[in-house]
Amino acid sequence: MRIVCIGAAPTGLGAAYRLNELIQEKNINASDVEMVIFEKESYAGGLSCTVEDEQGFLWDMGGHITFNHNFPYYEKAVKWAVDEWNSLQRNCMVDMNYLYDKAGIHLVPYPAQFAVPLFPEDVKQSCLRDLKERYDRYGEVSQSRQHQPSVTPDGNKYWSLMCECARPIDDPITEEEVVKQAIDGLVIKSMIQRDKIVSVYSTTLEYGYPIPTPARDPELARAHRELEKHSIYSRGRFGGWKYEVSNQVGCSQQFFTNFRTAPQLFFKSSVTEHKPRNIAH
Protein backbone atom coordinates (compact mmCIF):
# COMPACT_ATOMS: atom_id res chain seq x y z
CA MET A 1 0.00 0.00 0.00
CA ARG A 2 1.37 3.40 -0.99
CA ILE A 3 0.48 6.59 0.89
CA VAL A 4 1.34 9.98 -0.61
CA CYS A 5 1.05 12.93 1.75
CA ILE A 6 1.20 16.43 0.28
CA GLY A 7 2.53 18.89 2.86
CA ALA A 8 4.72 18.41 5.95
CA ALA A 9 2.57 20.63 8.17
CA PRO A 10 0.76 19.56 11.38
CA THR A 11 -1.79 17.39 9.56
CA GLY A 12 0.76 15.55 7.44
CA LEU A 13 3.16 15.13 10.35
CA GLY A 14 0.27 13.90 12.48
CA ALA A 15 -0.63 11.32 9.84
CA ALA A 16 2.97 10.09 9.67
CA TYR A 17 3.20 9.89 13.45
CA ARG A 18 -0.04 7.92 13.71
CA LEU A 19 0.97 5.54 10.92
CA ASN A 20 4.31 4.92 12.62
CA GLU A 21 2.48 4.31 15.88
CA LEU A 22 0.20 1.75 14.21
CA ILE A 23 3.27 -0.03 12.86
CA GLN A 24 4.93 -0.02 16.29
CA GLU A 25 1.73 -1.44 17.79
CA LYS A 26 1.80 -4.13 15.07
CA ASN A 27 -1.64 -3.14 13.82
CA ILE A 28 -0.03 -2.60 10.41
CA ASN A 29 2.84 -4.56 8.90
CA ALA A 30 5.67 -2.17 8.02
CA SER A 31 6.54 -4.17 4.92
CA ASP A 32 3.03 -3.59 3.58
CA VAL A 33 3.21 0.21 3.76
CA GLU A 34 5.17 2.79 1.81
CA MET A 35 4.68 6.45 2.75
CA VAL A 36 6.20 9.57 1.22
CA ILE A 37 5.63 13.21 2.20
CA PHE A 38 6.11 16.02 -0.32
CA GLU A 39 6.80 19.54 0.94
CA LYS A 40 7.52 22.55 -1.28
CA GLU A 41 9.56 24.37 1.39
CA SER A 42 12.99 23.37 2.68
CA TYR A 43 11.54 22.92 6.18
CA ALA A 44 8.54 21.25 7.79
CA GLY A 45 5.71 23.00 9.61
CA GLY A 46 3.66 24.88 7.03
CA LEU A 47 2.07 27.93 8.68
CA SER A 48 3.36 26.63 12.02
CA CYS A 49 6.86 27.89 11.32
CA THR A 50 9.10 30.59 12.79
CA VAL A 51 11.36 33.01 10.93
CA GLU A 52 14.24 35.18 12.13
CA ASP A 53 14.54 38.75 10.88
CA GLU A 54 17.78 40.61 10.16
CA GLN A 55 17.87 42.03 13.69
CA GLY A 56 17.68 38.59 15.31
CA PHE A 57 14.02 38.68 16.37
CA LEU A 58 11.99 35.49 15.95
CA TRP A 59 8.45 35.63 14.56
CA ASP A 60 5.83 32.88 14.53
CA MET A 61 3.98 32.84 11.22
CA GLY A 62 0.83 31.31 12.61
CA GLY A 63 1.02 32.53 16.19
CA HIS A 64 1.28 28.85 17.05
CA ILE A 65 1.10 28.70 20.80
CA THR A 66 -0.01 25.19 21.72
CA PHE A 67 -2.93 24.86 24.12
CA ASN A 68 -2.55 21.18 24.90
CA HIS A 69 -4.42 20.78 28.18
CA ASN A 70 -7.38 19.18 26.40
CA PHE A 71 -5.25 17.06 24.09
CA PRO A 72 -3.06 14.63 26.08
CA TYR A 73 -2.43 12.49 22.99
CA TYR A 74 -1.16 15.53 21.08
CA GLU A 75 1.06 16.47 24.02
CA LYS A 76 2.50 12.96 24.04
CA ALA A 77 3.31 13.21 20.33
CA VAL A 78 5.03 16.60 20.42
CA LYS A 79 7.06 15.67 23.49
CA TRP A 80 8.18 12.55 21.65
CA ALA A 81 9.39 14.80 18.81
CA VAL A 82 10.96 17.61 20.89
CA ASP A 83 12.68 17.06 24.23
CA GLU A 84 12.66 20.60 25.64
CA TRP A 85 9.48 22.69 25.92
CA ASN A 86 8.67 26.07 27.43
CA SER A 87 5.33 25.54 29.20
CA LEU A 88 3.44 28.64 30.32
CA GLN A 89 0.16 29.44 32.02
CA ARG A 90 -2.14 30.94 29.41
CA ASN A 91 -2.77 34.66 29.92
CA CYS A 92 -5.07 36.04 27.22
CA MET A 93 -6.78 39.41 27.61
CA VAL A 94 -8.88 41.72 25.45
CA ASP A 95 -8.42 45.49 25.30
CA MET A 96 -11.87 47.08 25.83
CA ASN A 97 -10.45 50.56 26.35
CA TYR A 98 -12.95 52.19 23.96
CA LEU A 99 -15.76 51.33 26.39
CA TYR A 100 -14.23 53.51 29.09
CA ASP A 101 -13.43 56.57 26.99
CA LYS A 102 -9.93 57.05 28.34
CA ALA A 103 -6.39 56.67 27.06
CA GLY A 104 -4.29 53.57 27.45
CA ILE A 105 -5.36 49.97 27.79
CA HIS A 106 -8.24 48.45 29.74
CA LEU A 107 -7.95 44.67 29.75
CA VAL A 108 -10.65 42.12 30.50
CA PRO A 109 -10.36 38.32 30.39
CA TYR A 110 -10.70 36.60 27.01
CA PRO A 111 -13.18 35.93 25.48
CA ALA A 112 -14.79 39.34 25.86
CA GLN A 113 -18.29 37.84 25.65
CA PHE A 114 -17.72 36.30 29.08
CA ALA A 115 -16.41 39.57 30.52
CA VAL A 116 -19.63 41.56 30.03
CA PRO A 117 -20.21 41.70 33.84
CA LEU A 118 -17.01 43.77 34.07
CA PHE A 119 -18.29 46.41 31.61
CA PRO A 120 -19.78 49.76 32.67
CA GLU A 121 -23.49 49.47 33.41
CA ASP A 122 -24.60 51.46 30.37
CA VAL A 123 -22.45 49.28 28.14
CA LYS A 124 -23.98 46.12 29.57
CA GLN A 125 -27.40 47.39 28.60
CA SER A 126 -26.15 48.45 25.19
CA CYS A 127 -24.81 44.93 24.58
CA LEU A 128 -28.32 43.64 24.95
CA ARG A 129 -29.90 46.32 22.79
CA ASP A 130 -27.47 46.55 19.94
CA LEU A 131 -24.62 44.37 18.67
CA LYS A 132 -22.19 46.47 16.68
CA GLU A 133 -19.22 45.42 14.53
CA ARG A 134 -15.98 47.33 14.98
CA TYR A 135 -12.93 47.39 12.74
CA ASP A 136 -9.55 48.11 14.32
CA ARG A 137 -6.09 48.55 12.83
CA TYR A 138 -5.08 45.10 14.03
CA GLY A 139 -7.10 42.14 15.19
CA GLU A 140 -4.75 40.34 17.56
CA VAL A 141 -1.54 41.21 19.39
CA SER A 142 0.81 38.70 21.04
CA GLN A 143 3.78 39.55 23.23
CA SER A 144 6.33 37.10 21.86
CA ARG A 145 8.89 37.62 24.63
CA GLN A 146 6.33 36.34 27.12
CA HIS A 147 6.49 32.99 25.36
CA GLN A 148 10.29 32.78 25.42
CA PRO A 149 12.92 35.52 26.05
CA SER A 150 15.18 34.06 23.35
CA VAL A 151 12.82 35.25 20.61
CA THR A 152 14.66 38.60 20.85
CA PRO A 153 18.40 39.24 20.39
CA ASP A 154 18.69 40.16 24.08
CA GLY A 155 15.87 39.21 26.44
CA ASN A 156 17.04 41.79 28.98
CA LYS A 157 16.89 44.72 26.54
CA TYR A 158 14.15 43.93 24.03
CA TRP A 159 10.61 42.68 23.83
CA SER A 160 8.39 42.24 20.81
CA LEU A 161 4.76 42.39 19.75
CA MET A 162 3.26 40.33 16.95
CA CYS A 163 0.23 41.90 15.27
CA GLU A 164 -2.08 39.77 13.18
CA CYS A 165 -3.84 41.82 10.50
CA ALA A 166 -6.34 40.01 8.29
CA ARG A 167 -7.69 41.45 5.07
CA PRO A 168 -9.67 40.19 2.06
CA ILE A 169 -7.59 38.93 -0.85
CA ASP A 170 -8.92 41.70 -3.10
CA ASP A 171 -8.25 44.51 -0.62
CA PRO A 172 -6.16 47.18 -2.42
CA ILE A 173 -4.30 48.20 0.76
CA THR A 174 -0.55 47.58 0.58
CA GLU A 175 1.54 45.69 3.12
CA GLU A 176 3.40 48.93 3.89
CA GLU A 177 0.13 50.67 4.75
CA VAL A 178 -0.95 47.76 6.95
CA VAL A 179 2.35 48.04 8.85
CA LYS A 180 1.92 51.81 9.25
CA GLN A 181 -1.64 51.44 10.55
CA ALA A 182 -0.62 48.69 12.97
CA ILE A 183 2.19 50.83 14.40
CA ASP A 184 -0.13 53.83 14.63
CA GLY A 185 -2.63 51.70 16.52
CA LEU A 186 -0.02 50.43 18.97
CA VAL A 187 1.16 53.99 19.62
CA ILE A 188 -2.41 55.21 20.16
CA LYS A 189 -2.95 52.41 22.66
CA SER A 190 0.31 53.38 24.45
CA MET A 191 1.61 49.86 23.91
CA ILE A 192 4.80 51.15 22.27
CA GLN A 193 6.70 54.41 21.78
CA ARG A 194 7.51 55.20 18.18
CA ASP A 195 11.05 56.39 18.89
CA LYS A 196 11.87 53.17 20.77
CA ILE A 197 11.23 50.84 17.79
CA VAL A 198 14.42 48.97 16.86
CA SER A 199 13.06 46.46 14.35
CA VAL A 200 9.98 46.06 12.16
CA TYR A 201 9.31 42.82 10.33
CA SER A 202 6.28 42.11 8.17
CA THR A 203 5.16 39.41 5.80
CA THR A 204 1.96 38.48 4.03
CA LEU A 205 0.77 34.88 4.18
CA GLU A 206 -1.26 34.05 1.08
CA TYR A 207 -3.50 31.74 3.07
CA GLY A 208 -4.77 32.52 6.55
CA TYR A 209 -8.38 31.67 7.27
CA PRO A 210 -10.62 28.94 5.81
CA ILE A 211 -13.70 31.14 6.16
CA PRO A 212 -16.93 29.15 6.75
CA THR A 213 -20.13 29.87 4.84
CA PRO A 214 -23.74 28.67 5.33
CA ALA A 215 -23.38 26.21 2.44
CA ARG A 216 -19.96 24.95 3.48
CA ASP A 217 -20.77 21.52 4.91
CA PRO A 218 -22.81 20.15 1.97
CA GLU A 219 -20.22 21.54 -0.45
CA LEU A 220 -17.41 19.90 1.51
CA ALA A 221 -19.26 16.59 1.48
CA ARG A 222 -19.73 16.83 -2.28
CA ALA A 223 -16.08 17.72 -2.85
CA HIS A 224 -14.84 14.90 -0.61
CA ARG A 225 -17.03 12.35 -2.37
CA GLU A 226 -15.57 13.31 -5.73
CA LEU A 227 -11.98 13.34 -4.47
CA GLU A 228 -12.33 10.02 -2.71
CA LYS A 229 -13.45 8.33 -5.89
CA HIS A 230 -9.78 8.73 -6.80
CA SER A 231 -8.48 7.77 -3.32
CA ILE A 232 -7.64 11.39 -2.50
CA TYR A 233 -8.31 12.37 1.10
CA SER A 234 -8.19 16.13 1.58
CA ARG A 235 -7.38 17.06 5.17
CA GLY A 236 -5.76 19.89 7.11
CA ARG A 237 -6.49 23.58 7.63
CA PHE A 238 -7.27 24.25 3.98
CA GLY A 239 -7.68 20.68 2.77
CA GLY A 240 -10.50 20.17 5.27
CA TRP A 241 -11.67 23.82 5.26
CA LYS A 242 -13.08 23.74 8.79
CA TYR A 243 -11.88 26.82 10.63
CA GLU A 244 -13.28 25.65 13.96
CA VAL A 245 -10.96 22.61 14.08
CA SER A 246 -8.00 23.83 12.04
CA ASN A 247 -5.48 25.29 14.47
CA GLN A 248 -2.15 23.53 15.01
CA VAL A 249 -3.56 21.06 17.52
CA GLY A 250 -6.80 20.50 15.63
CA CYS A 251 -5.06 19.66 12.37
CA SER A 252 -2.82 17.12 14.05
CA GLN A 253 -5.79 15.68 15.90
CA GLN A 254 -7.50 14.88 12.61
CA PHE A 255 -5.39 11.74 12.66
CA PHE A 256 -4.57 11.51 16.36
CA THR A 257 -8.00 11.33 17.99
CA ASN A 258 -10.27 9.79 15.37
CA PHE A 259 -8.06 6.79 14.80
CA ARG A 260 -6.52 6.26 18.22
CA THR A 261 -8.77 3.42 19.37
CA ALA A 262 -9.65 1.85 16.01
CA PRO A 263 -6.53 1.34 13.89
CA GLN A 264 -8.51 0.11 10.90
CA LEU A 265 -10.18 3.53 10.71
CA PHE A 266 -6.91 5.23 9.77
CA PHE A 267 -8.11 4.93 6.19
CA LYS A 268 -11.72 5.79 6.89
CA SER A 269 -13.17 8.89 5.30
CA SER A 270 -15.75 11.10 6.91
CA VAL A 271 -17.84 10.65 3.78
CA THR A 272 -17.35 7.17 2.31
CA GLU A 273 -16.67 3.78 3.80
CA HIS A 274 -14.22 2.11 1.42
CA LYS A 275 -10.57 1.42 2.19
CA PRO A 276 -8.41 2.79 -0.63
CA ARG A 277 -5.24 1.35 -2.12
CA ASN A 278 -3.62 4.76 -2.45
CA ILE A 279 -4.13 7.84 -0.35
CA ALA A 280 -3.08 11.40 -1.06
CA HIS A 281 -3.37 13.99 1.67
71-85, 185-199, 265-279: range with lowest mean pLDDT: 265-279
Model confidence at 180: pLDDT above 90: yes
**37: nearest Cα among 88, 3, 84, 77:** 3
208 Cβ contact list (under 8 Å, min separation 6): 166
Q: What is the pLDDT of residue 96?
A: 81
Q: What are phi and psi for residue 256, nearest 5 degrees?
A: -70, -60
**71: nearest Cα among 265, 236, 251, 270:** 251
Which residue type, as a one-letter code, is found at position 65?
Answer: I
- 17-72, pLDDT tens digit by residue? 888 888 888 888 888 888 999 999 998 988 888 889 998 998 888 755 566 566 77
**163: nearest Cα among 180, 150, 149:** 180
- 122-164, pLDDT tens digit by residue? 887 777 765 544 444 455 566 554 556 678 888 888 888 888 8
Separation CA 197–CA 158 (nearest Å): 10
Q: What is the pLDDT of residue 65?
A: 58
- List the beta bridge partners of residue 94: 108
Domain ranges of the chain: 2-47+210-280
